[in-house]
Amino acid sequence: MRVPARLYADEELLEDALRDASIEQLINTATLPGVTRYALAMPDIHQGYGFPIGGVVATRLPDGVISPGGVGYDINCGVRLMASAAMIEEIKPFLDDLATVLYHNCPSGMGTRGSLRLNKDDLDRVLHDGARWALDEGYARREDLEHTEERGCIPGADAEFVSQKAKDRGRDQVGTLGSGNHFIEVDRVAAIYDEDAAARLGLFLDQVAVQIHCGSRGLGHQVCEDYVGRFQKTVLEHKIELPDRQLVCAPFSSGEGQDYFRAMAAAANFAFANRQVLAAHIRRSFEQVLAGRVKDFDLHQVYDIAHNMAKVEEHDVEGHHLRLCVHRKGSTRAFGPGSPVLPDDLRDLGQPVLIPGSMGTASYVLLGQTGNMQQTFGSTCHGAGRVWSRSRAKKEVRGADLRGQLEARGIHVRAGSMSGLAEEAPQAYKDVARVVEVVHQAGIGKKVARLEPVAVVKG
């Protein structure tokens, strides 16, 4: 190990982490060339590809490495939260219709195609411009971009470094939800912990809100696969010794490292555009069902955050101002108050952080704290974290039974498949309230509000 490994957890979450190989993976990441200060893991840690999901690894530039496995296969999988001025009681009579229309307007399922057909030039613009492309095409409002991490566009993206196979997989998937743990969820704001901060974010008790959890679809998956394969040779050429071949990497400043960074940024921009088009589909769905029935149903964007990304950032580390490549795999950037990268109207609050639950459980809105910058390179957790594999969940849970249980609790469910629903059963995840309490108590994520689901669309 070149640096210590640090894990945020309580006793129960530590026991969960010890049930798979995630802590061994965390220790492995502490051996990467250029790794700085700590290899970190959040309380939602679980086993991933090479790196643990819930991990944060910063490498010192220019010679520290960048690793596709440290970003993950679903590049810029993230969460968007929108909220309306409507109260939950106003839309309850229409929730079943709303769930059905959302399901039809937001294509879900593995390999699903969307309604948009992009030619080569359009797709290259998506990869270069991200959510700005969606604004130009009428799928976004300018204020949406202001409340999106990086304003919906990662600089340095270059479509030339994305393979044709990746482009072919993504060409007709902009505006689609996909499968796995992706979802659209209509929520009730069930609790407010910080009234002033909630009011600044436009959140209040019993309000209707919507979350989108989705990423870069087949395009991002293929980008990761392409560069994991290519870097198997790269590590040999650069004489990088690794405890696990899934940690393949390249020096950030090398040709291979720069090629991957340009391709990863392009895939991240694809994901920003995808969530933005889905947001437009959701607004259209609300209008189709609620216009003339409910006042003030329009949805404003609270924030959009990214997981699964490697970013070039500057941090003060033990008295030194360093330029770093910060990998956040299944963790969230959570900069504290005053950061210049935050939008003007939220800069004094800190970055909003969105922690989704799992269909039947709560989700949380938090704010980044000053402690994040000192402890975690400005990072916090990203969700509940799995305790069961997808195969175990399918063995232990019948999707139809789960749907019945959720609907008996008043949660309207639409799913592409019952097996896909079973994979994401709430019991397959850790207790999200415990996860959030750990980061709140550690000073790396301040609780603002809790959301509870009333309708779910699953891939």
Q: Annotated active-site positions, please? A: 382
- C-alpha–C-alpha distance, residues 305 and 321, integer Å: 25
How does 197-212 read in b/e, with b if 16+ C-beta sit within 10 Å? bbebbbbeeebbbbbb
- C-alpha–C-alpha distance, residues 117 and 13, integer Å: 44
Burial label for 160, CB within 10 Å (0-12, 13-18, 19+), is exposed
Please give the sequence-ordered ranges of beta strands (E in DSSP) within 91-235, or none if there are none: 183-192, 207-214
Q: Which residue has the tokens 């929108």?
A: 82
Paired tokens of 20: 């798979």
- C-alpha–C-alpha distance, residues 155 and 272, integer Å: 13
Phi, psi dihedrals of residue 329, rounded to the nearest 5°: -105, 110
- C-alpha–C-alpha distance, residues 8 and 29, integer Å: 16
**CA distances, 287 to each of 209, 298, 349 (Å):** 15, 8, 32
DSSP H helix total and E strand total for the chain:
16, 17
Closest CA to 330 of 266, 275, 271, 386: 386
Q: Identity (one letter) of the amino acid at 97?
A: D
Closest CA to 357 of 128, 185, 145, 178: 185
